[in-house]
Chain A
Amino acid sequence: MTIYKAPLDDLRFALFDVLGAEHTLTSLQGGEAHSRDLLDAVLEEAGRLSEQLLAPTNAPADAEGCRFDKAAHTVTTPKGFKEAFKAFAEGGWTGLTNPEAYGGQALPGVLGTATTEIFQSGNLAWSLYPLLSEGATHAMEQHGEEWQRERFMKPIVAGRWTGTMCLTEPQAGSDLGLLKTRAEPGAADAGGHPTYRISGTKIFISAGEHDLAENIVHLVLARLPDAPEGSRGISMFIVPKFKVGEDGSLGARNTVAAGAIEHKMGIHACSTCVMNFDGAEGYLIGKPHKGLAAMFTMMNAARLSVGVQGLALAERALQNSLNYARERLQSRALSGPKFPDKPADNLLVQPDVRRMLLTQRAFVEGSRALVLYTALQTDIEHRAIDEAARQKAGELVAFLIPIAKGMTTELAQECTKEALQIYGGHGYIAENGMEQFVRDARIITLYEGTTGIQAADLLGRKILQLQGVGARHFLQEIGAFCQQHGADASLRGLIGPLAAAAKEWSELTASLAKRVQANPEELGAAASDYLYYSGYVTLAYLWARSVAAAEAGSQSAAFKQAKRDTAAFYFARILPRTLVHKAAIEAGVATLPAID
């Protein structure tokens, strides 16, 4: 059994001290009520719910997994999932960020990001059911017609139904332009809305079938008969498991069903389904052939949430490995016994164990600042009063998403590995719960766009195609920060290296852009290393900001010292990883010869 305590102090620190979220949020449209005390109360209660209702189910649900009934095509989720989902829905959490007009709470996105971390730490596999639903509601919010929102979105917001995202097919994963599922125009339904018959097979559909809700609304990418080839010929459809009457009542079973569930490495308690669509009745959502673009407008939110999953797993793994290191007595300190009355010292006396703990802490708290920073920019993008501020925030978000998703999920691999390592052989034993974190973490660098795809998005689209507009805003912000704090004694040792790294980052970007212009293959050769490089500099900035915030904050002396120590560790021992990535970027495509 592993423990979990919601890290409310650090969440508050990141939100209010580092990011100044209260000031920002209360100045946005519709944000008058979003004061600190309200946000605090929501965080508290999310913590209580996760600690009491979700965290205890994490290990047993992993062992139990989901069960598939072949004859009935139904999935049974593990014990406790239904009850937790019911409490979650009744508490209003399913509609945290949705507009009030559809039954939501209209709370800020950044608060949603913070509570999502808390729920995902409690039980990642469970949290995917509401997460997919949230994605579906945002798609309908942005692209649906009013009657579609009334009929299909409201029940999801209320937590009576759930949603899915059906993109992937066997031959179409990263490259959705290859997808084959067809949509044929059908008759109008009783209310006069045109219907379509959807046919094809989708794979790897999270929450595709389960027993948590009365109905499931699938958002499906498919091709209309006259569709152009490739990604320009994809449309999005609403396909409910049970057809829904004009009055919202559940009707006949639609011809979409789960054909199987996957047996997989982690997130055992989330049903990953093969979904067969056999002339299933659906409705077009958004414009014909614009489905992929529509899907992409909400991709940012989905990718950010997956980044948060990395943080969530790493946080819980850190809490447990720190406890273990404190309690496990093994070996003596190199300079002589620290606990002479005990048979051995605890693991904390070992510098190498502290290295593993500080690595985790630097990545967990750094990632937390990064995802919350990005989420707050999303709120500004959507609700700032000033048009220019909205545009700038949107550009920053576009730039930061591949870093927040790609970097945070990859760092979570390292964090969960180190956490397991601290347990020694006991980390490898299922009963202790650490290997589950390693297994569960493995999916997050794959779905919602693999790390390779994030890297290509960052370098190819955000830097080269969009001419680095978001990167420029971000580098300017770092420059301004360095200038403002250049004379602070407390930030000595941080500002110099940060300013140097920022300068090197922009030079490296400029020279790389030139090389890609000469040979497009250079993009693919540099992308991953460029993602890591960018990620490490981004975290350096956020760590420096964290120290500045801690110096000015009202936290305990121990809290502040931990921030200083972790930042110093990060700058001395982690930031230099940029040297390796820079070398790899400069080595170019010539060092990646053809393989056959």
Chain B
Amino acid sequence: MKILVGYKRVVDYNVRIQVKPDGTGVVTDGVKLSANPFDDIALEEALRLREKGVAEEVVVVGIGPADLTAHLRNGLAMGANRAIHVVAADAVQPLTAARVFLKLVEKEQPGLVILGKQAIDDDANQTGQMLAALWDRPQATFASKVDIAGGKATVTREVDAGLEVIEAELPAVITTDLRLNEPRFIKLPDIMKAKSKPIDTIEFGSLGVEAHDHLKTTHYAAPAKRSKGVMVKDAAELVAALKQKGLL
């Protein structure tokens, strides 16, 4: 079985996000970029499935500008067999990303696609679901445990009410939650091996996918600063204050 893994590059989770002075976006110049943490988990899960003998090949997919190569090499160093780089100068929205994945799915015929449940840049949480719908295959989102056997994935999902276990016929789309696994540290020899692993480049324009932006960004702004808190004497005063604000 082949597994396709979404491997997006985002502003590192440690970076304090700053809005550009002209409000057209967030500052990414000179800012540390890393793999979306959910995608690291997706890749880790795919690698574990390969190590268990469930899968033979793990392919990481990135959609982004020409300088995405170093990021994809990171995924290869972690253990992916090869990478696909869909070269797109501008960021793509979830539906466009899902359409790109559909094209790759048609070409690669994977038994499983593992994506992060969301990316920490826009937190959309849509691509996996959209891909499953376009592909017309089952989806198991927010996975915190995955077992594959007999052509089925048994997935424990993190839902509002707790945990839910579902089965999905393969091929299917799984999206990862934070507790699924802890991504490995990369080994030095693998960093060197990654240099000679293949990265296929595909121009976004050649896929025949229409980049349709359903969301229009008017402007970016930092959240309003929190105003100073008020000290209350006791619980009664707190209740009164909340009532007065219409919160109770």
Contact = CB atoms under 8 A, between A and B. Distances in A.
A459 to B, nearest CB: 40
Nearest to A44: B74
A91 B188 contact: yes
A69 interface: no
Interface string A133-170: 00000000000000000000000000000000000000
Contacts of A87: 185
Given A45-B185, A45-B186, A555-B30, A38 B14 contact: no
Contacts of A74: none
Interface in A514-565: 555-556, 558-559
Contact of B191 (A42, A49, A53, A555): A42
Contact of B195 (A9, A38, A91, A107): A38
Contacts of A41: 70, 73-74, 77, 186, 191, 194
Contacts of B91: none
B101 to A, nearest CB: 26
A33 interface: yes
B189 interface: yes
A585 to B, nearest CB: 43
Interface string B62-89: 0000000110011001000000000000
B74 A49 contact: no
A42 B188 contact: yes
B187 interface: yes
A4 B130 CA distance: 39
Contacts of B70: 37, 40-41
Interface string B32-65: 1000000000000000000000000000000000
B189 to A, nearest CB: 5
A363 interface: no
Nearest to B69: A37
Interface in B1-43: 14, 29-30, 32
B165 interface: no
Interface residues of B, number: 18
Task: Give the residue among A42, A96, A558, A559 with the most B Cβ atoms within 10 A.
Answer: A42
B189 A559 contact: no
A93 interface: yes
A8 interface: yes
B185 A33 contact: no
A90 B32 contact: no
A556 B29 contact: yes
Contacts of A44: 74
A248 interface: no
Contacts of B69: 37
A96 B191 CA distance: 12
Task: Give the residue among B14, B186, B189, B191 with the most A Cβ atoms within 10 A.
Answer: B191
A230 interface: no
Interface string B96-129: 0000000000000000000000000000000000
A45 B191 contact: yes
Task: Give the residue among A38, A87, A107 with the most B Cβ atoms within 10 A.
Answer: A38
A87 B185 CA distance: 8
Task: Give the residue among A49, A91, A107 with the most B Cβ atoms within 10 A.
Answer: A91
A105 interface: yes
A87 B194 CA distance: 20
A290 interface: no
B192 A49 contact: no
A354 interface: no
B185 A92 contact: no
A73 interface: no
A41 B29 CA distance: 19
Contacts of A105: 188-189, 192
B74 A92 contact: no
A91 B187 contact: yes
Nearest to A47: B32
Contacts of B187: 90-92
A382 interface: no
A37 B74 CA distance: 10
Nearest to A94: B188
Nearest to A555: B30
A284 B77 CA distance: 41
B188 A49 contact: no
A6 B69 CA distance: 22
Contact of A556 (B30, B73, B189, B192): B30
Interface in B122-173: none
B232 to A, nearest CB: 20
Given A37-B70, A556-B29, A559-B30, A96 B188 contact: yes
Given A8-B32, A40-B70, A93-B188, A33 B195 contact: yes
A287 interface: no
Contacts of A96: 188
Contacts of B77: 41, 45
A82 interface: no
Nearest to B31: A556
Nearest to A106: B192
Contacts of B189: 92, 105
Contacts of B186: 41, 45, 48, 91
Contact of A92 (B14, B32, B188): B188
Interface string A30-42: 0001000110111
A5 interface: yes
A90 B188 CA distance: 9
Contacts of A5: 14
Contacts of B194: 41
Given A37-B70, A41-B70, A556-B30, A48 B185 contact: yes
Interface in A61-92: 87, 90-92
B163 to A, nearest CB: 27
Task: Give the residue among B29, B30, B69, B185 with the most A Cβ atoms within 10 A.
Answer: B185
Contacts of A91: 185-188
A9 B14 CA distance: 14
B32 A33 contact: no
Contacts of B188: 42, 45, 91-93, 96, 105, 107
A8 B34 CA distance: 13
Nearest to B182: A52
Interface string B180-201: 0000011111011011000000
Task: Give the residue among B14, B74, B188 with the most A Cβ atoms within 10 A.
Answer: B188
A593 to B, nearest CB: 56
A344 to B, nearest CB: 15
B191 A33 contact: no
A38 B30 contact: no
A91 B189 CA distance: 8
Contact of A38 (B29, B185, B191): B191
A190 to B, nearest CB: 34
A320 to B, nearest CB: 15
6 contacts: A38-B192, A41-B73, A41-B191, A45-B188, A92-B188, A559-B30
Given A38-B191, A44-B74, A90-B187, 8 more contacts: A5-B14, A38-B195, A41-B191, A41-B194, A45-B77, A92-B188, A105-B192, A107-B188
8 A-B pairs closest in CB distance = A556-B30, A92-B188, A45-B186, A91-B187, A41-B191, A105-B188, A92-B187, A92-B189
Interface of A: 5, 8-9, 33, 37-38, 40-42, 44-45, 48-49, 53, 87, 90-93, 96, 105, 107, 555-556, 558-559
